[in-house]
Structure 1
């Protein structure tokens, strides 16, 4: 029996589980989150992730990419390797986002919720970039040059809520920094970032209350004053 399956059939000591995921897991974000300490969310998520690894163990390793719905609908013959790699990466992003989104509703406000929200925003940006590259290739038969063809895409309600939580966290930190600012220059810098984030948060609150999400083109990241 493998070490992971042995752990799953034991009392599931958290520290041992973290070591197993550190060795066998591939998600660096989860590794950092598990290493931060035990709580109900981390404990259950660790079990879920190690169960996935255990289920994958009997399967023979292959160099082939995971087959996606896109590959079934389209004949991949003649597609460059990069195209197929992007399809595979997009599928993995969808899977991770689907796992993370429910926790936006159940986690209490704090660093853990902020980490989940930031991870969803990062994954969404990666997904958008992949869509842009694939669409460009389908239309032009080649991939865009670096930095070319970047487009803003409508953001979903869940992703907008994640952005809302991220802004609230940064606003709270900036208010604290404003009180501790040592000179007028530092105070002005923090105040400018704070005002911008408050304005953006007000806009997001309004969009969420009205359900008007199409065409949202907000900041890619909340502004953090140093």
Structure 2
């Protein structure tokens, strides 16, 4: 276990850590879980498990205390959503821990199977919540405003010609439904086309 002790006293490279757990750990579910990536929960859990293997369990920092605080410029609504996500994340982490404990003590295959499925579902939810939290920490909001795509004048003129042509075809049919609406739309396009041509 000297290798584990060396890892614990180092910068704790995640890939090296999961390699150590793959060699010395006995929980196959945890091995697969750690392979899913170095998110905050997996890193914390990996350290805990390797500390157990090394016989050196220490107090880990509280999740909430180490959380990144949201930028001060956010709205109250988004700030409330951010705090709600932090609470959900921590609740899910606790649920995962409880289920992991159940895996260690149960011998019932059905219970083990259902518990493992529940852990996977919780892990997926946790990953989604972390993605939202990370996005908020990086951008200061939960959604970036959509960029308005501007089209060139030539492209707009081309699209207007197409729309006017289609409108004219519909208007040739005397039984065309929404005739008045089509005429209004065509006139609007003609007006815009005239404006664009004047700018040339």
Normalising by the smaller structure, the TM-score range is 0.3 to 0.5
TM-score by length of 1: 0.30
TM-score by length of 2: 0.34
Larger radius of gyration: 2
Identify, as 1 or 2, the structure richer in helix: 2
